[in-house]
Structure 1
């Protein structure tokens, strides 16, 4: 009897276990379901387990899935390793070469990328178009890297998190940000202990923030959640957001309202898709109305979002993958009617859009649209583009090239109203996490592009064969140029920066030189009224020319101080002879890490704007008084603390007098030349000297000096510094090299 009870008991306990084992899904099934739900982080881990045991005809398919998962969540090194294993197999599909080439291109390995892309074969027209675009992009990237533009640029470390952070706009209060990394951080006004996680990337959902102190050099970095009373309870991704010019109407990109994030229509593990929509809210008095879908713009079954408004608020640009476009994600627009409602959306046309992805539109200046594209020839991933025109009428399309673009995703190009200071986001190497916010300053940004030609709208670019790229003496154009006007060749003797096919060379120039400023046009500030020469002379008489400055705790430079790490985008001075919307990780392929590659001399000459040189000095006689003032200004020296770009009190007092003099001499232009001491690497010191140049430039602009009168040359290490030759030096001797000096161009 006891034996019978024991048998019954064991059978009772074992039966549920057997049933549970029969109901469990295989790892492969769970991986497939996670992949279909776009939960790539989870799917990648599951596929990796399967790949370790996969054999036979299924092995190649599993390897492709693993590589795709790592690529989509931005782990490009891992994706490249899996594609490398796959392409060595005899049963490797031809499409793998294109995918592997894309990963290599995104990591900046353009020569290796071309080798893989050239192996791709297909009978489909769209696939061959993509192949040709990628090859043309490799050719362009090689040339653009060799013709890098010199400017002050930095990763804003204070805004970097372990997640993705990107800029979506500027308001009167500060910088608009979208981030999934701030939610746990103390820099957030409302940090969360356990924020909801998006299984697609295994990261928190995005939220929208405002950074009020977006000028650099602040003591505290503080971001606050935007309109938590309106957006705080949204369960999934929030952002990007856009305000109208009066800032009383909000447009925000969200997941489908009050639905599962996958928009499921029936029960089951795999169905539905992620849909993004535009919602809006209007401020009435001191309160914001509840969010509502923007019915005139949204399209059922399609993703719509990433709003950018024209300066007058009458035209809305946005991204959408609805039917009727050129391909995948396209840029669309809508015009506001007299009754205040938005009109029927229209596609911006084939000049802007391609059969591939275009997204992240921004509007910074009248008659110019910025956006990111994977369809036009570029350096890899999403590249930033600048289009002149509006709606469907476009005339010039320009790739912003390096240093704005990289092998990774570059997006969200935002300019402040002064038009010499801007921001963008990128997941290039050197950041704090995935996407990071970068800041740049260039007093001649618009000049770099306004007089230049552009690339043609999407057609079928013909790639240049490898042998021609590496051996041809005549430059081959990776994309055809639409010339705006012929630019005569000029001999450049005193230019600091000149585009060249040779490796960059730094040549210090002692005489007043004309650095090549790139185009950007700052809105000129009204000049001070000219005064008598007696007052001019007296202004500088009291200036202390070479006094040893004292460190000042007040930060007036737009850059943080001290500079703790090299700037991500190194500044180079060269001379010679000549798709879902919220968060980019839902929109496109992940960005690869950039790997520096030694490339042979590039024959592909790209559509690069001629460098903007400072005007040559006119040989007009100066009076004795003028010469005395000029001599006084050119002997001024502005010193810095070690590893700092912060102006001291003595420097600011001298610059106040310089601003007065420049206002009295409206024809004079100013060259700002900065140096560092001998310590540190060459690349780091080039960047640090650029920051010192812009500390001076930014201060003078705030004093009313038009930015287009200011030029700079970041020398880096002082070539005359004896401490750089192994000679022991005191701190006072080192400081003599850490300086900025001025030259007058008249």
Structure 2
């Protein structure tokens, strides 16, 4: 064999050996990754990457392993390598890369990735929220600077998170090893499993050295996020699927999370039971209680979840049983993670999510639970939120002091607990109230129906004036509302109001006039009762929202006069052909009739007919030049009383 062949053979053998070792390493790392041993997978993948090996799937998994471990800065490095190798990725990678870029405060590039994510994902709520809130950083900046924060003083070199106050103590979860039952290593993070710890909360705000809770609560697996009833006798908490020495696993043999309940008996936490809506096949975690303790809120990825985890609520029945859990819906939940809910004593829901435009990772948000419509969800701003994961927010509304958890740089360990003081509130709260009176006598009118509509004439709420003639609604700041009052033998009164963007109470009195005009057979309700003409859009036969707002007045009169029958007559302008207009007006008349029937008026009290352009109210016939306003006057409905018996 020649020297050249020997050298070639040696090099080939070496390359084959390196390739074999490389492939074996990737196979091993893939198995570690698939079994959620992310810490081990990272170590193996990075050794291979250091040798110059580039692979799209490997970079995806390296980025993911760091991302799922909340090490977003390191995830950004590998997602960058991924996109350098191939910038056409599945939509989710654009989102993860964006979140990771925020960890290094590259918001410009992060927003660019979100734009691409929104295009690729199609109907993803996270993309829509970004697209509709391009100035999110300015909004967050306006909400910032309201807290003074500092290290809580009880953090270890490991993960410390969550906070609940019980009997003058801070109860939290920690992965520190203090020689108790928890010795097992959680390969996801390469730390020991978390247990619950207790630390005395001193008068000066300092915390005593933490002590592990009793082994009746703590196991050799994860425990975290407790919540206590006000009487101190019941605790709900999160634990891996482990009870009475039995470990439960899902179909992939993964141990998930469940919620448990424990009762205080003779000073000891005992009688630990799993809640009935747990499952071996999905996680349920991080409980919090409503103010009246009749509702339990929690996070889960159970069937019906919008994303990776959603917020849910479940009613606690009087006998201690539980109703069926309900998803809080699409106004709260996204395709990302919604988790760590907390209900404050002023009925605000705080939660963490990475599904909304934020500073990076999980951010803390707040919304009101008073109406549970979740129309005003606010990022609490920095310094609570950072470019990293921020979560597990807890506040005492009397002292405005509290705790939250973050894995931001500069901390002691993996996750750290911080304490804070809130210097000023975020949410603007307003009430709308007013007095209902007789316009001529100033007599107070009780039992007048008062209806609240939004700026698009959508019905929000109905109430009645009390014995003092007063009505009241909870409303949102910086919003426009329509308010209507009606009472039998009085004409409907209505007005609009713009609620200021500051907390307080707004006042809108309404004075009603007695109905002096008598209605009878042949009367047109629209004219007799000064009800504005019901208009339709050009070539359309659906009831517009503003038209529905006016139709309510016809409805009220028919409700007050249960024997009244009316003939609905619909008219068009002269544009289009005669036959087209006759058909269109007939559809409009029938649409108006159907609307009233839907609102409870019997069909035998209504007739409806279209007259097309045969009864114009002005000169705008065929071939006559008219303005849009003049043409619109002909697109109308009349309500002719045909019987009062």
Question: How would you bin the TM-score normalised by the shorter chain?
Answer: 0.5 to 0.7
Distance 1:123 1:262, change over 3 A: farther
- 1:657 maps to what in 2? none
Render the CA deviation track for 1:4-30: whole Å, top value 9, x for unaligned: xxxxxxxxxxxxxxxxxx999922222
TM-score for the superposition, normalised by structure 1 = 0.51
Q: Does 1:348 align with 2:328?
A: yes
- 1:238 maps to what in 2? 223
- 1:277 maps to what in 2? 258
- 1:105 maps to what in 2? 102
Q: Does the 8 Å CA contact 1:348/1:391 hold for their aligned counterparts?
A: no
- 1:65 maps to what in 2? 61
Q: Does 1:326 align with 2:306?
A: yes
Render the CA deviation track for 1:8-64: whole Å, top value 9, x for unaligned: xxxxxxxxxxxxxx9999222221111111111101111123334575xx7111122
CA-based RMSD:
3.5
- Rounded to whole Å, the distance in 2 between the matches of 1:325 and 1:392 is 18
State the Cα distance separating 1:351 from its structure 2 match: 2.4
- Rounded to whole Å, the distance in 1 between the matches of 2:101 and 2:48 is 25
Instruction: Extract unaligned runs of 5+ from structure 1.
Output: 1-21, 185-190, 266-270, 453-481, 488-607, 613-746
Alignment of 1:290-689 (within 5 A): 290-295=271-276, 297-389=277-369, 392-445=372-425, 449-450=428-429, 484-485=477-478
Render the CA deviation track for 1:632-683: whole Å, top value 9, x for unaligned: xxxxxxxxxxxxxxxxxxxxxxxxxxxxxxxxxxxxxxxxxxxxxxxxxxxx
- 2:177 maps to what in 1? 183
Distance 1:284 1:140, change over 3 A: same
Q: Across the two proteins, how many residue pairs are aligned to each other?
A: 422
Q: Does the 8 Å CA contact 1:388/1:396 hold for their aligned counterparts?
A: yes
- Rounded to whole Å, the distance in 2 between the matches of 1:62 and 1:264 is 27
Distance 1:142 1:31, change over 3 A: farther
State the Cα distance separating 1:407 from its structure 2 match: 2.0
Distance 1:149 1:53, change over 3 A: closer
- 2:193 maps to what in 1? 205
State the Cα distance separating 1:207 from its structure 2 match: 1.1
- Rounded to whole Å, the distance in 2 between the matches of 1:140 and 1:407 is 14
- Rounded to whole Å, the distance in 1 between the matches of 2:317 and 2:420 is 37
The structure showing larger relative contact order (alpha-carbon pairs under 8 Å, at least 6 residues apart) is 1
- Rounded to whole Å, the distance in 2 between the matches of 1:201 and 1:313 is 34
Q: Does 1:169 align with 2:152?
A: no
- Rounded to whole Å, the distance in 2 between the matches of 1:167 and 1:440 is 14
Q: Does the 8 Å CA contact 2:360/2:389 hold for their aligned counterparts?
A: yes
- Rounded to whole Å, the distance in 2 between the matches of 1:335 and 1:39 is 37
Q: Does the 8 Å CA contact 1:245/1:312 hold for their aligned counterparts?
A: no
- 1:35 maps to what in 2? 33
- 2:212 maps to what in 1? 225
Distance 1:179 1:64, change over 3 A: same
- 1:457 maps to what in 2? none
Render the CA deviation track for 1:93-128: whole Å, top value 9, x for unaligned: 36544432220123332123123444558654245x
Q: Does 1:79 align with 2:66?
A: no
Distance 1:275 1:162, change over 3 A: same
Instruction: Extract unaligned runs of 5+ from structure 2.
Output: 1-19, 432-474, 481-499, 505-645
State which drifts further: 163-172 or 144-153: 144-153
Q: Does 1:196 align with 2:191?
A: no
Distance 1:143 1:30, change over 3 A: same
Q: Does the 8 Å CA contact 1:86/1:92 hold for their aligned counterparts?
A: no
